[in-house]
Structures are given as C-alpha cells and as structure tokens.
Structure 1
Amino acid sequence: MKICLISDFFYPNFGGVECHIYNLAQNLYKRGHKVIIVTHCYDDRVGVRYLRPFIKVYYIPFYMLIRLVILPNFFISLPILRHIFIREQIEIVHGHAAFSTFALDALLSAKMMGLRTVFTDHSLFGFNDFGAIMTNKMLEFALGDIDGVICVSHTSKENTVLRARISPSKVRVIPNAIDTSLFVPTDTPPSSRDEIVIVVMSRLVYRKGIDLLSGIIPEMCAADKRVKFLIGGDGPKRLMLEELREQHRLHERVVLLGNVEQSRVRDVLIQGHIFLNTSLTEAFCMAIVEAVSCGLPVVSTAVGGIVEVFPADFVCLAEETTTESLTKGLLQTISRIDAGEVPAPQELHRQVKNMYSWADVTRRTEQVYKECSSRPSLAERMSVQKSRGPVAGVLYCICYAISYLLLAITTFLQPECTIETVPYIYEGGRREDGRSNALGRSLSEQLKYSDLSGSDHKKSL
C-alpha cells in the first residue's frame, strides 16, 4: 500500500503525536509499504526532507497560527495536496490529531479524489467551551463519511463518537506503544535508604495538573524528609513551581530540569523511585508507559484512558483528582518500596514489552487500512452532511460544492497525466521494475529518482 501520514504535529517538534507518526511510518515501511509524511513548514525547514529509513517528508509552506497549528485553509491546500497524492500515487491518507486543521483538510481533499481515508484521534475534548465546540464541528465535518477511525483508548472512542457524531462501528481501539529498547531499567536501581526521588516528566501547563503538583510538593517534603522531586518539562506553569520552591525553601529538594530531549528521557527516569502523573485529562498517557518500562511504579490521577493502560499492580490510581488523594497514593507507594513489595524493575520492563509494541500497533493499523473500501458518491456524501443539522448541514454542503468545483478547475488546469509520478524504489526489497536493490547502489538509485536537485540533496540526506 502507498500511505500518506499527515498532521500539523511532527519533527522538529516533539510530543506524543509526533513520536506516534514517526514510529508508525518506520514500521509500515519495514512491512513493505510506501510511506510519506506531510506536515507544515517549521521555520526554515521547508520542502522535502528524508528520515530514516528513507521516509520522505513534505514540509508544505503553510505557517503556524497558534500552538503549532495552521489556519484552516481547505480551498488553498486542495491543489497542493492533490499534486502530492498523484505524484506519490497515494492510496490511503491517514490524518492524526483532532486539533490538526491540516490533517482534517487533507482528509476532505483525499475523499474527493476517491482515496481511502483513516483518522487517529489522540486526545480528549470537552463540549461546552468555544474552542471545543469549533473543534468538534470541524471534526464532524471532516469525519462525516470517513472510511475508518482509530482511537488510542475506549474512553477516547466514546469521546470521539459523541463529538464527531459517527457510527461506533467505524471506530477501532488501538493503543499507543513505545520502543521498549530505548526505555530499559538500570542494572543497579537507586537506593531508597537516603532519598526517595519522585520524577515528573510533563509539559508545565494547566491540563497536566501542575496546580495539583504545586500542592503536593510541600506536603510530601514535610511528610518524608527523604523525598526529592525531579521535574522535567517546560511551560507557562514553571514560574509557579519556581515561586513555590522559593517560598518553601526547597531548592535542594525540587530540581527543575526544563525541556528534556527525547534521547535523555530514559536517563532522567532511571534516577527516580516513583513516577508521578497529575494530568487532568489524558486519552492514553505515553509517559506512564515509558516510566513503567524503566522500572518505576507510578502514582497517577484516574482520568480519561489512564485507567485502561495498566493493571492496579503497576499503577496506583488516586481515588479523586485532588492533592490529598495523590499525596496519599505517594505515601502508600513509598511504604511499599520500603517493605520491598514493588515488582523488580526488570519484571516491569518485561511486562511492558509484552503489552505494548509498535509491531502490534502497525499490524492492527494495517488491518484498518484493508477494511477501508467504501467509495461514496457525491450525492451520498452530500446527503450525509445535510443530515448534520438545518444550519451546519447546509454550510457543509456549500463547502462540498465549492470544493468539488475547485477540484474540477484544478484538474482542468493541471490534468493528472501531466503530473510526473515518483517511482517507488523499495518494495519488498525490489524496485517496481523488478530489479533488486543492491546495497552498494541503493543510494545512487535514490538520488536518481529523487525530486530534489543540487544542494537540496545534502539537506535532505
């Protein structure tokens, strides 16, 4: 299959969605599929780049409006996306993240071209604030006749079905995964006799419960003199933690690391005894999976899809989303550590390795691709959108009509036969013309068929 993964969120930015897209692309490639990634530009990163193992990334010159997201520009992006889909002979377009306007635009463009479409929702959203209402309306419009939807937890599935008003039969639950080879516990775990290190790895924003954390820190430091906090991450709530540390004179016991590169996350985790997650909303929470893989017991809020990630032996879930409940959970976990009741780090790592793997996620995602075969006509699509409501339905149909008109004009001005397609070099170890890809000449073959020239080769490779 020839697959396009698309989202506003991708490298050089780092986060859960970005890591998911990259790992999924890698594993789809290993299974013999052609994979490209499309995102918007980041500063001077514009044009075509390549990521190992030879995955092409299109950085389209659309600039960010707010929080890494571009302004919705469906009518502008349609000709560009059409050109890429035809050029790369794309069969399946897979959008990621409900907040990604670029992904939602691409799904609508792909559907008009008769391509199969899949969407993965990575987050939970509400229903009663202006931002959530606008996002939900866009999601409802984009997913009205989509072929398949993937959610990372059953809680996320319920949330997406309600927000987008789609049939639950279209939605599959496929959890996230991590590369467990990168999150391995140390052979000599730190001793808990002199100090208990509580690790927090999170963006320092309201949604991650940093207000709760600011209440937990002084209580835990007063309850146990061994407790020390190691906090990785940055954000607008960092100033609150700095003021708290100054007010309670906890400079020796609260360490703020700032932004931590992905390659250094494991080095921070293995310094701790307990991982603390204070999120107020989560669809899955990759952070606790990484922590358990490194051998740390977890204390967490019981919100969203967190309750589905691990059994009770692995995670101590707070009874309520309060400072008191989380503090109680931390004290209980420290007591278990002192009593030697916590599973060995290597055993926790082995369990995570068996539970979550990218090979399994890729295989299940591949099955969703195979099940996507619907080809609704324009009349059927308009009928679905019209049923969305007396006002929204009419607006959706008008947008559809304008989009189809734009597609017809674009096709007339640039017929498909005038767009040069890119030969796919790697396909089961052989080129499309049947010749083998000998390792010694593969790079020259790649350059020969690349759409880059001159100095751009150096940038991309």
Structure 2
Amino acid sequence: MDPPPPGRLRLLMVSDFFYPNTGGVEAHIYQLSQCLLAAGHKVVVLTHAYGDRCGVRHLTNGLKVYYVPRLPITQSVTLPTLFGGFRLLRHILIRERITLLHAHQAFSTMAHEAVLHARTMGLPVVFTDHSLFGFADASSILVNKVLKFTLADVHAVICVSHTSKENTVLRACIPPTRVSVIPNAVDASLFEPDAPPVPQAAALHPGKQQQAAKRRRQQQQQWLRRRRKTQAGSDGNGADEGSSADGGGSSSSSSDGGDGSGITIVALSRLVYRKGIDLLAAILPELCARHPRVQFLIGGDGPKRPLLEAVVREHGLQGRVQLVGAVPHEQVRSLLVQGHVFLNCSLTEAFCMALVEAAAAGLLVVSTRVGGVPEVLPDEMLLLAEPSPDGLVAAVGQALARVAAGGRDPWAQHAAVREMYSWQAIAARTERVYWSVVGAGAAACRDDSMAGRLERYVKCGKWFGPICCCVAAVDWLYWRFLEWVDPAAGIEPAPDFPPLSG
C-alpha cells in the first residue's frame, strides 16, 4: 500500500450498527467520522446491508459507507462467519489503502471479525466498547470470551465512561493502562430549546396557564399528524392511540389550566428490556394517578411496545400517554422540546447519549442510577433514582416539583451542555489515541509478529488460549492463500474524495 500523506490517517470504522439504524453507537460513528473528515483524514465505514440499502453509498462530506450483504439475526447483529468475510474486507482495506481499523461495540460480530483479519494483515487496530455486560448469564459469558480474544491483540481500547472502563478491564482481563476513557458527545446545535419553559410562565401568571397548556397540546397533535403522514400508517396501533390522545386532549385542556402544572414527560429509547421498559410500564399508572395534569410522550419501537400499549389500554390512559413509535434522529429535537422532563429507565448504560440530547434541549432529566449514568450530567440537570418503581416514582415527583416551581433557564442549560460535550474535542482525543498506535516509535512498544500475536493469544486461558492460537493461525494461512490467488498488486485503488481541510 502507498503511504498516506504526512499527518493524514486512512481509517476504516467497522460495526454492525450504523445508519439508517438509530442508536448511540450509530450516532457516535457518524459524528466522529464527520469530525475526522473535517480534520483532513480519510474515513470509510463498513457495516451490513439494511433492506435495499446495499453496496457503496456516499454520505455528507464524502463519508463512504460499504453496506455489505450479511444476514442479521437479532437486533442488527449479523450471523458470525469467522473467515467468510475476510476476502471482501481484504479488498476494502487494500482498495481504500487503510492504515488503521477502528472497530465498535462488543456484540458486533463484524467488529470482532474485522479486528482478527486486520491484525492478520498487520494493520493497527483500535476498539471502542460502548456497553456494559455482566458476568453470570450465558450470553454475557460468551460475549466476554469473544471480547477477551479480540482485545488480546488490539493496540488500544476506548471506553465511553470510567464505569465502562472498569467493566471492560474485568471482562477482557487487559491492563487498565491500555484503555482510554473518551465519552460520547452531542451536536448541541441540533437540540436547541424551544420557547421559554411553560411551567415557569404559568407560575408567574396563573391566568395564562390554560392557554399555554392548550398551545403545547396543539403542537403535540400537529407533530403527531405530520409523523402519521410521513409513515403512511406504519405505526399501527400507535397511530390509533395517538388519535385517541388527540381526541382526549381538548377534554383535559381546561383541567390542566385550573391548578396543575401542565407538564409533559418525554421518554425516548428502544423499547427493549435493557432500556427498562418493564419499569416504565409499571410506573405509568402510578404517576398518572398521583399527578393528574401530567402527560407522557413515549418515542421508540421494539418488542416491548405491546406491553406499553396493554398498560395504556387497561388503565384508560389514552388521553394521557401517547406512543409515537420510532423517531428518526432528525425529528428527535421536535419531540424533546414538547416536554419538560426526560425520563430514562435503563437497567444498564455505559453512557446514555439520550440524556445529553435531552439536557441540551433544556429538559430536566430523571434517570436510573446505573452504569456510567452518574458521570454524564451534573446534579442540577440530572435526578438519579434506584432502578425500581418506587425509586423512579419518587424521583419523577421531585422533578415535577422542581419544574413547576420555575426558575430554570433552558438556554443556560443548553450552553452548559454545549461547553461540556463537543464532537470536535472528542475527535481530537480520539486522534491522539490513533497517533499513539501508528506514530513513530509505536512499533517498538510491542511485538506484532505472528509469534508475538500467538504469545498474547495463548494467555487467554488454559483451554481457550490454544483455541485462539488455532483460529489466528488458520486466519493467517487463509490470508496467504488469498495473497496467492488474488495478489494485492492486482486490486485497483479507489479514488479519494478531496479532503475537507484542503
């Protein structure tokens, strides 16, 4: 491969999780890639095909994405092939003249396989772990074993919080000195607050509270109608519930103006067990009973949606709780600014980007005290609760009282979040990790020969270590075979998009 221009890296980001799928990992890869492109580096993304999105696509600022045909089996995770994807990955690495591979997420099979193959070809590798895992259940044991094999040979590891670092070090049995902590970030300009908070105005002028509550409900109804048009009825039961909520909205308008605060609570996540949807379903009836003027907007989709629909139906909450379905990332801000409190019920989180986005939009955040969540926001923006129904109900009650009392400045909070979290700063810190593994003198710090790799793999365990060595040896033999049948000299280099930095 031809050497890259001085000071310029050629990076390949690999993960099962990327757009059009939505989530924290997807946003992290995209935003980090955009900042690295702006810094003058070349960035290519490798992920699996999503529906008819297959082949090569170019996104904003020339970000090149390979959507390769692989079979997803659960939650966008693809079927492991071990050696099956090596030939295509090798072509991409050679065509794009990649100098460093950055893999993301511990349960991404594409990431683990790419690390193995890239190391076989002699490329430096960085791995980012975005999640927390346990140690007892079968799935965690399997993932931890695979992670131990993968991280044994990478050059650097990045975690998104100090809690995540401790978790990864214990699971993969790697030295803490090899792990850097670089949090996620948020583009605060995409999550600017709306008008001044309604509860504050209502506290100062009680006579205007009914008009403010009615105006906010009208905004919610207009937003839901626009979503139904764009989705063409794809929300199913959620659209029917939205219609019921619209119908009940005007009947509760006058009651909101009497003596309540007219506060809206927003929850937005994948509707899966790990995100605490069972907890959310358990506290909805209790919160609605205790706070009759509070309404809920719940965004997201997943296997736990029928549970929420059943709770709404059984307790007659159609006029109080609206399930709006999956929310595209470009519409997240439109949903957030309709609320005053953001509720996160997750059972495990390494770093929850949704909390930062909600805080940037001016909302007071309530979250379960799990994983790296306490590290994300200061106390004045975040109320923590134990992951139990009683704990969440109490914390939400405190948040409602704080919001109704007024005095909060959403724009000051937005400015504080913008100061704390910047993708440019995160990209600069990630660049330093890259240069630490590819810069002058980095090669002298470790033995990257095949013998050195096998020495690291054999330390993975009495029985597991030899298995890792066998896998690495077979991968090396397969690589030599591919070099023989399809020489690298015969693979045409791909043209480069002009660097943004000129």
TM-score by length of 2: 0.83
Distance (whole Å) between structure 1 residues aligned to residue 394 and residue 59 of structure 2: 45
Give the counterpart letter for 2:418 in structure 1: K
Amino acid in structure 1 at the alignment position of 2:343: L
Match of 2:175 among 156, 167, 172: 167
Distance in 2 between the 1:221 and 1:214 partners? 12
1:381 aligned onto 2:453: yes
> RCO greater where, 1 or 2, for CA within 8 Å and sep 6 or more?
2
Cα offset, 1:65, TM superposition: 2.3
In structure 2, the residue matched to 1:200 is 267
| C-alpha deviation, 1:189, in angstroms | 2.9
CA shift for structure 1 position 283: 0.5
- Aligned-residue offset at 1:74: 2.4
- Correspondence 1:362 to 2:427: yes
The code of the aligned residue for 1:265 comes to V
Q: Provide Cα deviations, 1:192-211, integer angstroms capped at 9, x if missing partner.
A: 64311111111111111111
How far apart are the structure 1 equivalents of 2:37 and 2:62? Answer: 9
Q: Give the conservation status (yes or no) of the 8 Å contact 2:38–2:501.
A: no
Q: Which residues in structure 2 correspond to 1:232-311 (within 5 Å)?
A: 232-311=299-378
AA aligned to 2:131 is S
Partner of 1:31: 39
- Alignment pair present for 1:49 and 2:57: yes
d(CA) in 2 for partners of 1:176, 1:22: 12
Distance 1:336 1:37 in 2: 44
Alpha-carbon displacement from aligned partner over 1:80-110 (angstroms, at most 9, x marks no partner): 1111111111000000111101011111111
Label 1:75 to 1:291 Cα distance change in 2 as closer, same or farther (>3 A). same
Structure 2 residue 28 is the aligned partner of structure 1 residue 20: yes
User: Over residues 399-456 of structure 1, what are the superposed CA-to-partner deviations in whole Å (9 max), with x where a residue is unaligned?
Assistant: 01101100111111122211111243424655xxxxxxxxxxxxxxxxxxxxxxxxxx
SS at structure 2 position matched to 1:299: strand
8 Å CA contact 1:42–1:63 kept in 2: the answer is: no
Q: Can you list the C-alpha shifts for 1:129-180, whole angstroms capped at 9, x where unaligned?
A: 1111111111111111210111000011111111111111111000001111
Contact 2:103–2:114 (Cα < 8 Å) also in 1 = yes
Q: Identify which range, 16-25 or 331-340, moves more after superposition.
A: 331-340
Q: Report if aligned partners of 1:176, 1:286 keep a CA contact under 8 Å in 2.
A: yes
- 8 Å contact from structure 1 (residues 285, 306) kept in 2: yes
Determine if the alignment matches structure 1 residue 217 to structure 2 residue 225. Answer: no
SS in 2 for 1:166: coil
Residue 232 (structure 2) aligns with: none
Separation in 1 of the partners of 2:55 and 2:368?
A: 42
- The one-letter amino acid paired with 2:426 is V
Aligned residue in 2 for 1:426:
498
Alignment-derived partner of residue 402 in structure 2: 336
Q: Is the 8 A contact 1:190 1:271 kept in 2?
A: no
Matched, 1:401 2:467: no
- Contact 2:298–2:324 (8 Å) recurs in 1: yes
SS in 2 for 1:74: coil
Q: How many residues align?
A: 428
Q: Unaligned 5+ residue runs, structure 2?
A: 1-8, 203-208, 210-255, 257-261
Which SS does the other structure have where 1:412 is aligned?
helix
Q: Which residue of 2 aligns with 1:326?
A: 392
TM-score using structure 1 length: 0.90
Please name the residue that 1:436 is paired with. Answer: none
Supply the AA of the counterpart residue of 2:429.
Answer: R
**Residues in 2 aligned to 1:240 and 1:75: alpha-carbon distance in whole angstroms:** 40
1:437 match: none
Q: 114, 127, 135: which is aligned to 2:135? A: 127
Residues of 2 paired with 1:419 and 1:271: CA distance? 53
Whichever residue aligns with residue 248 of structure 1, its letter is H
Report whether the alignment pairs 1:91 with 2:99: yes
Residue 148, structure 1, aligned to residue 156, structure 2 = yes
| Alignment partner, residue 351 of structure 1 | 416
SS at match of 1:76: coil
What letter corresponds to residue 312 of structure 2 in structure 1? R
Q: Call closer, same or farther: CA 1:428–1:232 in 2, change over 3 Å.
A: closer
Q: Corresponding residue for 2:212?
A: none
1:324-359 Cα offsets, whole Å, 9 max, x none, are 111111111222222225x31001100000000100
The one of 110, 114, 121 equivalent to 2:122 is: 114
Please state whether the residue corresponding to 1:49 is helix, strand or coil.
strand
Contact 2:62–2:497 (Cα < 8 Å) also in 1: no
Do 1:190 and 1:272's aligned partners in 2 also have CA atoms closer than 8 Å? no
- Separation in 2 of the partners of 1:300 and 1:66? 27
- Which residue type is aligned with residue 220 of structure 1? L
Give the whole-Å Cα distance in 2 for the aligned partners of 1:61 and 1:334.
48
**Cα distance in structure 1, aligned partners of 2:338 and 2:495:** 48
Q: Give 1:321's aligned amino acid.
A: P
**Cα offset for 1:68?**
1.1
Given that 1:199 and 1:275 are in contact with CA atoms closer than 8 Å, whether structure 2 keeps it comes out as: yes
1:108 and 1:161 mapped to 2: Cα distance? 20
On the 8 A contact 1:269/1:294 being kept in 2, the answer is yes
Provide the aligned C-alpha RMSD in A.
Answer: 1.3
Q: Structure 2: which amino acid aligns with 1:362? A: A
Query: Does the CA-based 8 Å contact 2:13-2:46 persist in structure 1?
Result: yes
Which stretch of structure 1 is more off in the superposition, 380-389 or 345-354? 380-389
Return the alpha-carbon distance in structure 2 between the equivalents of residues 45 and 224 of structure 1: 45
CA distance in 1, matches of 2:333, 2:192: 8
Quick one: percent identity of the two aligned structures?
Answer: 50
1:78 and 2:143 equivalent? no
Amino acid at match of 1:360: A
| Structure 1, gaps ≥5 residues long | 431-461
Matched with 1:444 is none
CA contact (8 A) 2:116 2:150 kept: yes
Question: Counterpart amino acid of 1:103?
Answer: A
Secondary structure (helix, strand or coil) at the match of 2:83 reads: helix
The offset of 1:190, in angstroms, is 3.1
**Aligned position for 1:434:** none
